[in-house]
């Protein structure tokens, strides 16, 4: 705008000084003058529209940065949750293997006790030993059963933790998709 004003001033001073760069015919042609004034008015209107657009877009730039920060935070949290879920799934797999091993041991001990109890031709001395072995076996079985129960409780806890983390992940993913305007691919 200031460039146009400067040029206007230069032309006025040149016209007043009678410089050859300003034809006298241009000054006397009202149609051209009206056309130039109309063009100036259109340019001023365009400039005004652009200034309004800049004023409207300036707050949007702040929102874009805010949205980008939110998306980055959600992405980081998402990655952390994925890491937690992976660790918990690995721990659950290890606990399940350990649980299966303990259950296998319990089954083997139960089979051994059934064999010992099924043997009718045992002497009284052997019966006393069998009872001692059986009671120590029972104590060992009880310990293993307690361990199995503890492991089962731990697996249930880990499953609940995984489920909760998956819910958080899904909520964050929904929020991310909402913020970015994307649709969830199902």
**pLDDT tens sequence across 92-136:** 888 888 888 888 888 888 787 767 555 544 544 454 555 555 566
Same domain, 179 and 101: yes
Could you report the per-residue pLDDT of 48-99, keeping only the tens digit for each?
Answer: 888 888 777 777 777 777 778 878 888 888 888 888 888 888 888 888 888 8
Same domain, 55 and 2: yes
Judge whether residue 138 has pLDDT over 60. Answer: yes
Alpha-carbon distance 171 to 186, whole Å? 15
Same domain, 99 and 179: yes
With respect to residue 113, please indicate whether it lies within any of the assigned structural domains.
Answer: yes
With respect to residue 85, please indicate whether it lies within any of the assigned structural domains.
Answer: yes
Q: Would you say the pTM of this structure is higher than 0.85?
A: no
Judge whether residue 186 has pLDDT over 60. Answer: no
Name 113's Cβ contacts closer than 8 Å, sequence gap at least 6: 134, 137
User: Domain range spanning residue 155?
Assistant: 78-186
Name 170's Cβ contacts closer than 8 Å, sequence gap at least 6: none
Structural domain count, the chain: 2
With respect to residue 163, please indicate whether it lies within any of the assigned structural domains.
Answer: yes
Alpha-carbon distance 22 to 14, whole Å? 7
């Amino acid at each position: 705008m200031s460039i146009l004003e400067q040029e206007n001033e230069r032309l006025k001073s040149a016209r007043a000084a009678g410089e050859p760069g300003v034809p006298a015919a241009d000054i006397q042609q009202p149609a051209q003058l009206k056309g130039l004034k109309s063009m100036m008015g259109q340019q001023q209107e365009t400039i005004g529209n652009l200034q309004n657009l800049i004023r409207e877009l300036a707050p949007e730039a702040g929102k874009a940065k805010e949205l980008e920060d939110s998306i980055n935070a959600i992405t980081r949290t998402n990655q952390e949750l994925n890491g937690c879920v992976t660790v918990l799934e690995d721990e659950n797999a290890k606990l399940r293997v350990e649980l299966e091993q303990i259950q296998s041991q319990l089954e083997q001990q139960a089979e051994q006790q059934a064999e010992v109890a099924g043997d009718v031709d045992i002497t009284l001395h052997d019966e006393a030993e069998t009872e001692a072995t059986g009671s120590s076996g029972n104590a060992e079985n009880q310990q293993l059963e307690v361990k199995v129960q503890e492991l089962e409780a731990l697996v249930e806890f880990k499953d609940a933790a995984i489920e909760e983390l998956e819910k958080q992940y899904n909520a964050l993913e929904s929020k991310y998709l909402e913020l970015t305007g994307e649709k969830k691919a199902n």
